[in-house]
């Protein structure tokens, strides 16, 4: 049973001013039950593994790791059949139950009926509520919900604040109450408190991960600016819809979405590239802008790849910050991928469907098939795999996929085993889980069955 945000540790628990009866939790034979404090008579059998009091709602009870609910008079509301039961603290007559498949439904204890059913939500991370962290007061509990593969906003137990027709809704941890709404890959910032849209509809260069941290939460705040496409043109915008660079360019790339006031930014308009910094636009004498690598703008000029130091005014070679830093990076031109080295060398021209770099190895896709290449761009295998992935860096092994079957490949490009298994997991301590249709077993780094 998950602990509530507060715990009642007193032996004697007062149910409420309007309800005079006192109830006491007791243990007999290592099992929990409830008794009437005045009469000492049992109100329940001593059959529960745990009991937790919820003020003004009742008691959460546990049996065999399943959760049930008793009301304030210790009468059974739900048997112990649920994965979890969440009290709606600002509306103590309601709870949200989670079945064993993770599906949620809101229930009225007073009316003895479900008022909103069949949705999912992260109940441990609401948009707001149940507490005001400054005053300690219980507030409205509002959550992002998913139903029928669409997202919306629900004020528990059943009030829809935003219709359930969004592709995704992302919570901004750095700005409580602010959300990113995603509908058909077009985005808007929204203030749930004021129920107000903060920005015009915009697109991103890629997807919303540009605004996210590794845990999938939006961390952008009011001082951050990011490239946004509004009405078909690119600008640099913040979460309140304020533009640092107006949305009037065909292309725009900033060195990062950053809190820095003067991040290096490149724009493209009228078939020419410009730098746009400190409110000034200047011609940037390059043939093509590829992207950023550390504090460098990676560009093509006179058919050469060059690194422009965005803190200075000259082209030079990238200085790696750590010995473990990658020496290769993939960029794109018109949707085609290529590979550049940190010494301004073009390792692979921009003609590949997809490229993934793992240390000194390159997984390159051409004509819908992958090959393994070394850090000089030399093929170590033919282009014949449906996919190549890292199996174990320490074990120097790769996992290949062909025609729905999995095999193993060495870092040098030698096939350890041809694709024959229906599944192979990543390796740990020289072992991996594998399946051959319904047979499950472990294999070693040579592909031999262990058991």
pLDDT tens track for 150-166: 999 999 999 999 999 99
Instruction: Give mean pLDDT, residues 309-337.
Output: 82
Question: What is the reported pTM?
Answer: 0.71
Is the pLDDT assigned to residue 280 strictly greater than 90?
Answer: no
Position of tokens 């739900």? 78
pLDDT score for 84? 96
Using alpha carbons only, give the angle 24, 108, 48 rounded to the nearest 5 degrees: 35
Give the mean model confidence (pLDDT) for residues 145-154.
Answer: 96
Instruction: Please state which of the ranges 107-116, 207-216, 355-364, 436-445 shows the lowest mean pLDDT.
Output: 207-216
- Element housing 288 (H / E): strand 288-293
Per-residue tokens: 235: 């600008």
17 pLDDT tier (thresholds 50, 70, 90)? very low
- Average pLDDT in the 37-60 region? 93
**Domain boundaries in the chain?**
385-451
Whole-angstrom distance, CA of residue 245 vs CA of residue 255: 14
CA-based nearest residue to 170, from 203, 234, 133, 122: 122
pLDDT at 12: 34
> What is the DSSP secondary structure assignment for residue 222, as one 8-state letter?
T
Residue 131 is classified by DSSP as: B
d(CA 44, CA 276): 73
- The pLDDT value recorded for residue 14 is 38
């Amino acid at each position: 049973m998950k602990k509530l945000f507060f715990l009642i540790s007193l032996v004697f628990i007062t149910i409420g001013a309007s309800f005079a009866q006192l109830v006491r939790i007791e243990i007999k034979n290592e099992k929990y039950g409830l008794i009437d404090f005045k009469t000492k008579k049992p109100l329940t059998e001593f059959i529960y593994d745990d009991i937790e009091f919820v003020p003004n709602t009742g008691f959460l009870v546990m049996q065999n790791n399943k959760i049930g609910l008793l009301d304030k008079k210790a009468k059974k509301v739900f048997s112990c059949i649920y994965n979890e039961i969440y009290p709606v603290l600002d509306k103590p007559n309601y709870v949200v139950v989670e079945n064993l498949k993770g599906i949620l439904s809101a229930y009225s204890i007073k009316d003895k009926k479900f008022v909103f059913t069949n949705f999912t939500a992260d109940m441990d991370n609401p948009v707001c509520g149940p507490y005001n962290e400054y005053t300690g007061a219980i507030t409205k509990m509002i959550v992002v919900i998913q139903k029928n593969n669409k997202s919306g906003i629900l004020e528990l137990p059943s009030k829809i604040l935003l219709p359930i027709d969004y592709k995704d809704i992302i919570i901004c941890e750095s700005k409580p109450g602010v959300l990113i709404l995603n509908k058909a890959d077009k985005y808007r910032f929204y203030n749930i408190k004021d129920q107000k849209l903060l920005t015009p509809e915009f697109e991103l260069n890629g997807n919303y991960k540009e605004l996210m941290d590794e845990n999938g939460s939006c961390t952008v705040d009011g001082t951050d600016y990011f490239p946004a496409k509004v009405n078909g043109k690119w600008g640099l915008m913040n979460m309140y819809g304020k533009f640092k660079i107006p949305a009037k360019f065909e292309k725009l790339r900033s060195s990062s979405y950053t809190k820095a006031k003067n991040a290096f930014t490149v724009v493209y308009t009228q078939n020419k590239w410009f730098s746009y910094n400190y409110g000034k636009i200047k011609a940037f004498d390059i043939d093509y802008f590829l992207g950023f690598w550390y504090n460098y703008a990676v560009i093509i000029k006179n058919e050469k790849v060059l690194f422009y130091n965005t803190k200075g005014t000259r082209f030079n070679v990238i200085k790696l910050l750590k010995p473990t830093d990658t020496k290769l990076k993939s960029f794109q031109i018109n949707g085609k991928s290529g590979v550049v080295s940190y010494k301004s060398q073009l390792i692979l021209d921009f003609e590949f469907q997809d490229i993934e770099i793992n240390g000194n190895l390159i997984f390159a896709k051409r004509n819908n098939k992958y090959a393994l290449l070394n850090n000089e761009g030399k093929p170590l295998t033919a282009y014949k795999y449906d996919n190549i992935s890292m199996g174990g860096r320490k074990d120097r092994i790769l996992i290949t996929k062909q025609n729905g079957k999995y095999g193993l490949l060495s870092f040098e490009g030698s096939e350890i085993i041809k694709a024959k298994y229906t599944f192979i997991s990543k390796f740990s301590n020289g072992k991996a889980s594998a399946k051959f249709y319904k047979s499950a077993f472990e294999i070693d780094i040579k592909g031999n069955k262990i058991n």
